[in-house]
Amino acid sequence: MEGYPRRICDDKTCPQEVSRARLLFYAKTEELIGTMKVFCGRANPTTGSMEWLEEDEHYDYHQEIARSSYADMLHDKDRNIKYYQGIRAAVSRVKDRGQKALVLDIGTGTGLLSMMAVTAGADFCYAIEVFKPMADAAVKIVEKNGFSDKIKIINKHSTEVTIGPDGDMPCRANILITELFDTELIGEGALPSYEHAHRHLMQENCEAVPHRATVYAQLVESRRMWSWNKLFPIRVQTSLGEKVIVPPLELERCPGAPSVCDIQLNQVSPTDFTVLSDVLPMFSVDFSKQVSSSAACHSRQFEPLASGRAQVVLSWWDIEMDPEGKIKCTMAPFWAHSDPEELQWRDHWMQCVYFLSQEEPVIQGSVLCLVAHHDDYCVWYSLQKTSPEKNGRVLLARPVCDCQAHLLWNRPRFGEINDQDRTDQYVQALSTVLKPDSVCLCISDGSLLSMLAYHLGAEQIFKANHLEDKINMIEKRPELLTPADLGDKKVSLLLGEPFFTTSLLPWHNLYFWYVRTAVDRHLGPGAVVMPQAASLHVVVVEFRDLWRIRSPCGNCEGFDVHIMDDMIKCALDFRESKEAEPHPLWEYPCRSLSEPQQILTFDFLQPVPPQPIRAEGTIELRRSGRSHGAVLWMEYHLTPDSTVSTGLLKPAENKGDCCWNPHCKQAVYFFNTTQDSRAPPDSPRTVSYTVAFHPDTGDVTMDFTLSDALTC
């Protein structure tokens, strides 16, 4: 692991989320009973308060390991086999030249690739791992497998490795093995690492595994994916006819967020996009030669396959493990895969969605150029009428959001706001509670509820936007509101979606309840709160693939990696095993084994209670399958007749296939005792649970236990 996984900080966990995702800053340390403790500041996403927590000094390490993709990589059989084949071939080529095979393995992780190299006949391996807990584990794994005499683990960044009699390596290596790639290929710093390695650590004419990588792109038109990047006009049906909320011009012109959107592209239906180009090979990197991390652009001329609006570039890559390109590992989605039946599921490498700065009309048969730009860490695309090489223009500057909306909303949030059916549901609910003299206070981040209330005829609304005569922006924390802030008026309608940018787990949006409590004194007699309540729901599921990220590997291509399994389990047991984690489940197919069940309710008509809200019971499993975990989500009851779900959108079909809200992440609680594949698929028959909401912290704690209390 030369760098940290991009998935920690990508659009699935956007920057504003990361700020509240327990990214802790060290404020004070002291020695307590012989163990270093760290006092950490955390902005609580549910209560909105600042907390100081005493944590173990290795807390961040435990989180990094627990949330890493190591298990997923070890389960990636296609990746492992192709690497092994490429390593064998590289060692053979060096031996055939009469040379010793000296391997440099950058980002060794578990040491797996180094052990493959020694088994293939390498004379010695220098395995670099910058993450100390991982380097320590690699030492133990290498020793366990009997390779300590042939593999040296170096706990440094590769750019800090020294060569010489007193250095980390006595001489340069002649085989370079790396796994420094993310979904975008270069996002983990592969190019600078390769550049440095060739200049300072490798012999000339060395072998490299992988030998080459090629990035592919395909231009498409997709209203669904474009809705993740641009705000569409929003239609509001009122008693006076249809009103249209038009996005501001600066938002229309904004090029959008600069980061890649990485998703499981195989879960996007082909009906959701129109292909405008063939799959185009955009650029390749030969890892056996000197690599440059300098900014560059690569253009490919093409004729559109159909007329339409160019909006989105779908992209992926493959790696060739040998110079001849016979050993290939590809990330291609099913429609571009040479053998879709052999498609390997993986979550550590997916596919990329890039958004053009502006949509462009294209005409079938006309000649255009798709241009891939990259710097040392990022890739982006532009569409041009002529090749940059011909007209002398090279656009190298990364697109950067200048409208602020892309900094406030992540891609799923854009999609949620653009969901007209969802908007219609809120409009319908609002119309039943709104009166001509309503004084509204809107509590949600970047919400258009205030605009909807305005168009439906509210007298006064307190929220941020450009309708100053009717809508006032209040830049204060809710507990600091004064009557003067509200124009000495009492609030008659308190509104929320609710949505807050700092929320990671579904119940974090209960921050609305805390705000409602803080502004209680500003509510007038008979004030209406919308939503009036919320409920927490659960269903037990069998995942098609997602279970792999938490499943022990044991043996990987003949090597014992139980130590890594134990390390992950220890990290999970540190805290994570008792916590749920957020996943956008529309990307991860699963079957429900139970009926959905409501387990907690939250009454927004009343302030947050002082005592915990608890529930315990059992969930009956009605379908056969392997119980991988429980999925939890929130439902918001806008009115007695209108409910918005952040989880299941409709009852499961006969086979139990789930349809999830694509705009939200659901909470997944992986069971500790995953059933053995040899166990009968229909046992156990019940799951016991204990769930509690703690008002003092805003936390939801839970425990689930598989049991066979119900006999068939």
Average pLDDT over residues 245-264: 91
Say whether 416 is catalytic: no
Say whether 30 is catalytic: no
Q: What is the pLDDT of residue 22?
A: 32
Q: What is the pLDDT of residue 31?
A: 33
Q: What is the pLDDT of residue 42?
A: 58
320-342 pLDDT per residue, tens: 999 999 999 999 999 999 998 88
Please give the structure tokens belonging to residue 222.
């997709």
Q: What is the pLDDT of residue 64?
A: 67
Torsion angle in degrees (nearest 10) through CA of 262, 264, 270, 274? 10
**Among the options 2, 17, 129, 179, which is catalytic?**
179
Average pLDDT over residues 240-262: 90
Residue 2 has pLDDT above 60, yes or no: no
What is d(CA 374, CA 36) in angstroms, rounded to the nearest whole number? 43
69-94 pLDDT per residue, tens: 678 899 999 999 999 999 999 999 99
Terminal-residue alpha carbon distance, the chain = 48
How many other C-beta atoms lie within 10 A of the C-beta of residue 612?
13
Q: Are 343 and 334 contacting, i.e. CB atoms less than 8 angstroms apart?
A: yes
Query: Which residue reads 């133990």 in tokens?
Result: 140
Please give the structure tokens belonging to residue 439.
């004084």
Identity of the residue numbered 503: S
Q: Which residues contact 35 (CB under 8 A, 6 or more apart)?
A: 56, 57
Q: What is the pLDDT of residue 39?
A: 52
Q: What is the pLDDT of residue 480?
A: 87
**Among the options 184, 188, 207, 635, which is catalytic?**
188
> Taking the model in full, what pTM does it have?
0.90
Q: What is the pLDDT of residue 653?
A: 83
Average pLDDT over residues 212-236: 97
Q: Which residues pair with 494 in a beta bridge?
A: 441, 529
Burial class (CB in 10 A: 0-12, 13-18, 19+), 661: buried
User: What percentage of the chain has pLDDT greater than the value 90?
Assistant: 71
Q: What is the pLDDT of residue 458?
A: 79
Residue 288 has pLDDT above 70, yes or no: yes
Average pLDDT, the chain: 87
Helices 132-144 & 562-574, crossing angle to 10 degrees? Answer: 140
